[in-house]
Amino acid sequence: MSSIASQQPDAAARAIASRDGFDAAMRGRRAECDGGKGIEGTHFAGRQEFAGVLTGHFRDFGDYPWRWYLMTDFTRKPTGFTHEAVWCDAGNLIIEGEE
């Protein structure tokens, strides 16, 4: 998961091919996602949990697509999280009404 206001990616990240798209079937779906990354200055990773509404916008990375969906309108977000949207790994999404 990453914020849309994240710092600019490094050269290695920019070298990964990506494709932006829109999935109308995902637009407006309520969902939860979690994810995390390393905590700067430590050897630990943190977890963050979000709940909100998917916009339908997605981004695929790599030859074997690794899909991320954009989430906004949060009903749950980490304390101090100031961004208006977050990208959620499709594999970490729990869509409301689906098992």
* Boundaries of every domain in the chain: 2-95
pTM score over 0.85: no
Residue pLDDT, tens place only, 14-72: 666 788 999 999 999 999 998 776 777 888 877 889 999 999 999 998 878 889 999 99
Give the residue carrying structure tokens 């979690």.
34
- CA distances to 41, 48, 54 from 35, rounded to whole Å, are 19, 6, 16
Q: What would the mean pLDDT of 75-90 be, rounded to a whole number? A: 91
What's the residue count for the chain? 99
Confidence (pLDDT) at 12: 56
d(CA 13, CA 95): 28
Confidence (pLDDT) at 50: 94
